Chains A and B, each alone.
Chain A
Amino acid sequence: MAETGDTTVVGADSHFKGELSFERTAKINGKFDGKITGKGELQVSQNAVCKADVDATGVQVDGLIEGNLNAKDTVKLNGSGVVRGDITAAKMVMTEGASFHGMCAVGPDSGRPASAAPAQSGGQAGGSPGGSPGGSSGGSSGQSPKK
């Protein structure tokens, strides 16, 4: 694992297994298995394969992420990006060509527990309130309370 300036980089020819935590920016160019936690932005490059649960402020996906993704700020899912897992984020940008299988909860209240969110008003289309409609493809489903 290399560090260029403020960015922690997992190289294109490397395979990392374990837990990674970073302060500013991390970039995955190769393969990663495990768990990623960070205060800054995580970038997953086009040919990168990341089998991990990610918890960061921002995430930019050009490669593949298999696992749940939790972002305090923005998730950017670019055209070549693939996510198989659940996404919880305050903001999300998804480009045409991106692929995504899983539960999605986006909004300023999405990361908060249901009891902390303001009460919902207005009609529902018969859906269970706050419940997840069916299973998810990527591990824990639904808008689960913050662990």
Chain B
Amino acid sequence: MVGDEHITKLRGPLKELKTCGRITVSKRGRLIVETIEAHGGIDCQGIIDAKHVLSGTTVILGPKCNYHGDLTAPGVVMHKGAKVKASRFAVPEDPLGLTDMPEAGESK
């Protein structure tokens, strides 16, 4: 797991990319990998092609992005123009489970 790294160009096959930081795929960037895990979130303005994508915070899909991969994230912001190739999205209503929390002062 990588904490903070700036990859400008990396050639060759990559099976997984895991970071506790944030992944940014810029306008002409292309990320093709089997598994992506980014606990700091994902900002995609270019191309992401993956099988499984897990994000710890909101995923941003920019207006010119091309996205493919099963996505699990607490939130997604998709801009008009983003293209998504058949992928399964799991964006829960209450990612923190706050609805099950007892109210302040309420005892169990």
**Chain A: residues with CB nearer than 8 A to chain B?**
74, 77, 82, 91-107, 110, 123-127, 130, 132-134, 136, 142-143
Is B49 close to A, CB under 8 A?
yes
5 shortest interchain CB distances as A-B pairs: A94-B78, A107-B83, A143-B86, A99-B93, A106-B84
**Chain B: residues with CB nearer than 8 A to chain A?**
32-34, 49-51, 58, 61, 68-70, 75-93
**Are B83 and A104 within 8 A (Cβ)?**
no
In whole Å, how far is A85's beta carbon from the nearest beta carbon of chain B? 11
User: Which one of A104, A134, A142 has the highest number of Cβ atoms from chain B below 10 Å of its Cβ?
Assistant: A104
Identify 20 new A-B residue pairs, CB closer than 8 A, beyond the known A99-B93, A133-B51: A74-B80, A77-B78, A92-B78, A93-B80, A94-B78, A95-B77, A98-B76, A100-B76, A104-B84, A104-B87, A104-B88, A104-B89, A106-B78, A107-B85, A110-B84, A125-B50, A126-B34, A132-B88, A133-B70, A142-B86
Residues of B close to A142: CB separation below 8 A:
86
Instruction: Known contacts A97-B75, A125-B51; decide if A133 and B32 are in contact (CB<8 Å).
Output: no
Task: List 12 contacting pairs A-B, 8 Å CB cutoff, sorted by A.
Answer: A94-B61, A96-B77, A98-B75, A100-B91, A102-B88, A102-B89, A106-B78, A107-B84, A124-B32, A125-B49, A133-B70, A134-B70
In whole Å, how far is A73's beta carbon from the nearest beta carbon of chain B? 11
User: Which one of A77, A95, A96, A124 has the highest number of Cβ atoms from chain B below 10 Å of its Cβ?
Assistant: A96
In whole Å, how far is B99's beta carbon from the nearest beta carbon of chain A? 12
Count of A-B residue pairs with CB < 8 Å: 90
**Are B82 and A127 within 8 A (Cβ)?**
no
**Are B51 and A136 within 8 A (Cβ)?**
no
In whole Å, how far is B71's beta carbon from the nearest beta carbon of chain A? 8
In the complex, which residue of chain A has the Cβ closest to the Cβ of B47?
A: A122
